[in-house]
Amino acid sequence: MTNEFINRSFITGDSTDVAGGVTVGSGSFAREYNMNHKNRGLALIFNHEFFKIPRLKTRLGTNVDAEELSKTFKKLGFDVTVHKDCKWQKIRENVEKAAALDHTDNDCLAIAILSHGEHGCIYANDIQYKLDIILHYFTDKMCPTLAGKPKLFFIQACQGYLVDGGMMLNKCRTETDGDSSMSYTIPVHADFLISYSTIPGYTSWRNVGKGSWYIQSLIEELNSNGKTNDLLTMLTFVSQRVAIDFESNMPDNPIADRQKQIPCFTSMLTRMLHFGYKPNRTE
Which sequence positions are flagged as catalytic?
Answer: 116, 158
| Helices and strands in the chain, H and E counts | 7, 17
Task: Write the DSSP assignment of 79-133 as a string of letters.
Answer: EEEEEES--HHHHHHHHHHHHHS--TTBS-EEEEEES-EETTEEE-SSSEEEHHH
State the Cα–Cα distance between residues 213 and 261, nearest whole angstrom: 9
**Euclidean distance between CA atoms 282 and 140, whole angstroms:** 30
Half-sphere exposure of 267 toward its Cβ, with a 13 Å CA cutoff? 13
3-state secondary structure of 26: coil
Per DSSP, what are the bridge partners of residue 272? 32
Counting every residue, how long is the chain?
283
Q: How far apart are CA 174 and CA 170, in angstroms?
A: 7
Instruction: For residue 123, list its beta bridge partners.
Output: 128
CA distances from 268 to 72, 187, 208 (A): 24, 10, 33
Alpha helices in the chain (DSSP H): 3-6, 62-75, 88-100, 131-136, 171-174, 213-225, 231-245
Q: Are strands 42-47 and 21-24 parallel, antiparallel or unpaired?
A: unpaired
